[in-house]
Structure 1
Amino acid sequence: MGASRESSTPISTELHREELMRHTSFNRVFSALYTCAILCLLYRHINTLLVHSNTSLSIFLSLSLFIADLVLAFCWAFNLSFRLYPTRTHVFPNNLEKVIKRSEFPRLDVFICTADPYKEPPMGVVNTALSVMAYDYPTEKLSIYVSDDGGSQLTLFAFTEAARFAGHWLPFCVKNNLVDRSPEAFLKSNHPCDSEAQNIKLMYESLKSRVESCVERGKVVDEYITNEQDRQAFQKWTQDFTRQDHPTVIQVLLENRRDKDITGHFLPNLIYLSRQKSRASPHHFKAGALNTLVISSP
């Protein structure tokens, strides 16, 4: 009997659920009373303005108070929807594969923007990208686009190093089912101190040391450029290359049909992009950078 009951229990496939918060009824009653009070106040202002205001000064004061309260009433009414229907949403990502096969997941493009390697340290941006690359999502459908609106070779170098580290970090996340998939957050947590974790720690600290060393020097030194492809990419930074005036730089750091991690699984796409800038034409700041990303992503 018990087995038949369990087998007849329907399997939940909902992806999210919304429920009203407890104080919804109180908010609605309060909103109704508050609306009545506002209407009475506005009626009083209109009555004072039309009946009791006889001088220019009294008309000016009554009109000013009426306009001020009218603006405040509009602001309150504009935010009223958040009080009338406050909800709490519960998500169930584990049910996603019950609804659709992993092979049928939609393609996911993630845009990461940065502009200044000194105001936004490259290692912080790298950790963001690595945590996104380690999503529990089909890697062949995942693409990460890094928009460097400052056109800094330091940012490109950081992501060149991160692309190599990703081949070790992603399978480590999958194997250990990590929740914090940012290397910096993981190493600061109470993680298990086995040999594999220690190896990851050493690799990450070596990566961090090289990147921060280049940031301190303000340039990428030749000893850190290990192959001809990287050398050709960094040759684009000439003496005429500035933040406000430089050609387009596009570097495909990882390609999911070509690059694999240490376990033989394909890695997600990782593309570095620094759009062309010229002093002769406006670049529209971050809006222009995002527009370039939208055009670049398939």
Structure 2
Amino acid sequence: MEGRGLRAGFTADAPPLLHMSEPLRRTAFNRLFAVVYFSAILALLYRHVQNLFLHPTTSFLSFSITLFLFISDLVLAFMWASAQAFRMSPIRRKEFPQNLKQIIKDEDFVGLDVFICTADPYKEPPMNVVNTALSLMAYDYPTEKISIYVSDDGGSVLTLFAFMEAAKFARYWLPFCRQHNIMERSPHVYFESNSHRPSIPQFEKIKMMYEDMKMKVEHVIDKGEVIEEYISDDQQHQAFNKWTKSFSRMDHPTVIQVILDKSKDTDISGQLMPNLIYVSREKSKTSPHHFKAGALNVL
């Protein structure tokens, strides 16, 4: 019974386990093999020593060949010995993340900051980056502890528009993932998978919302600008107004847009959402910007 309790992550008088380890059965075989192999290496090296010092040859060529073989075998023996440490006591680890919330409260979880880098909406399609962000926002983790920073080194209004649309979709996607315990948190992966069936409640509704968001983003990318009919509120107007005629990829001021604020923005179920912040650092033609490395330094 005690063994079963350990395997399930519980014991009779201890709190739930977060992880455990057990030795593998091949430990004894590994050690026996190492002893035999080490004995063979010693015999080989002893043979080299005999040929070099106890029974030296008169030929310089033969001596040189034997010496080089001795050195090469020493190097190979060292490489083999240095790789044996993890074979002496191999173990299998098992984690129990489902027990984490039984040990600590949500407010005690550490904050999680995630940086997503992008640079060009045509080389790095915004929908790919958006799916990455949505999967991170839907982590099985207290949402108010997650902050996602999108570093756009290209300073593209198209990328900002894509993430604003993603924030609207996330208000429905995050509760959907929690309610149905969705494992594939990326919408693209989830809807493309053949293992999911429309029998899940709200499946078709969420899928249509995703396809609508995808259509808008791809249409904007094709047009090369944000269409006025897609701008739905004052927040978007104020954000997009920062892209003036003098705004260019290589010369523009800093743009920081808080798309979602975990202190006030909630999803349709009333639960707080993660921070989602768009950042495009200042660039000037007169100063080196060091590409994405410089963008990460700003963050």
**Bin of the TM-score, shorter chain as denominator length:** 0.7 to 0.9
109-118 vs 165-174, which deviates more? Answer: 109-118
Q: Cα–Cα, structure 1 residues 202 and 86, in superposed 2: closer, same or farther, change >3 Å?
A: same
Deviation sequence 1:151-208 (CA, Å, 0-9, x none): 3333322211111111111112222222222212222342343562211111000111
Deviation at 1:210, TM superposition (A): 1.5
Q: Alignment length, in residue pairs?
A: 283
Tell me, yes or no, if the aligned pair for 1:53 and 1:62 is still in contact at 8 Å.
Answer: no
The worse-fitting range, judged by mean Cα deviation, of 230-239 and 177-186 is 230-239
The CA deviation at 1:74 is 4.8
Greater shift, 158-167 or 105-114, is seen at 105-114
Kindly state the Cα deviation for residue 259 of structure 1 after the two structures are TM-superposed.
Answer: 1.0
Alignment partners' CA distance in 2, 1:166 and 1:53: 82
List alignment gaps of at least 5 residues for structure 2.
Answer: 1-10
Structure 2 match to 1:4: none
Residue 268 of structure 2 is aligned to residue 268 of structure 1: no
Please provide the CA RMSD for this pair: 3.3
Compute the displacement of 1:23 (Å): 2.2
- Structure 2 equivalent of residue 220 of structure 1: 226
d(CA) in 1 for partners of 2:215, 2:271? 28
Higher mean displacement: 127-136 or 185-194: 185-194
Larger radius of gyration: 2
The C-alpha deviation readout for 1:30-74, integer Å capped at 9, x for no partner, is 33444444555566667767755864x667656665665555555
After the TM superposition, which residues 61-72 of structure 1 pair with which residues of structure 2 at under 5 Å, given as runs?
Answer: 69=73, 72=76
Aligned position for 2:110: 106
Residue 209 (structure 2) pairs with residue 203 (structure 1): yes
Q: Is the contact made by 1:150 and 1:274 (CA closer than 8 Å) also made in structure 2?
A: yes
Which deviations, in whole Å up to 9, do the C-alpha atoms of 1:249-291 show, x marking residues without a partner?
Answer: 32211001121112222111111223345563362744x4444
| Amino acid across the alignment from 1:233 | A
Question: C-alpha separation between the residues in 1 aligned to 2:166 and 2:264?
Answer: 17
The one-letter amino acid of 1:248's match is T
What pairs with 1:80-229 in structure 2 (closer than 5 Å)?
80-187=84-191, 188=193, 189-193=195-199, 196-229=202-235
What is the rounded CA distance, in whole Å, between the counterparts of 1:116 and 1:63 in structure 2? 58
Partner of 2:7: none
Contact 1:153 1:237 in 2 (8 A): no
Instruction: Give ranges in structure 1 of 5+ residues lacking alignment.
Output: 1-7, 294-298
- Contact residue 171 and residue 268 of structure 2 kept, 8 A: yes
Question: Which residue of structure 1 aligns with residue 16 of structure 2?
Answer: 13
CA distance in 2, matches of 1:257, 1:180: 27
TM-score (norm 1): 0.77
- TM-score, normalising length: structure 2: 0.77
Q: Which amino acid in the other structure matches residue 270 of structure 1?
A: L
Equivalent residue number for residue 5 of structure 2: none
* CA 214–78 in structure 1, closer or farther in 2 if over 3 Å, else same: farther
Deviation at 1:136, TM superposition (A): 2.6
Using the aligned pairs only, state the percent identity.
54
The residue identity in structure 2 corresponding to 1:132 is L
Moved more, 164-173 or 187-196: 187-196
Paired amino acid for 2:184: D
User: Which residue of 12, 25, 28 maps to 1:25?
Assistant: 28
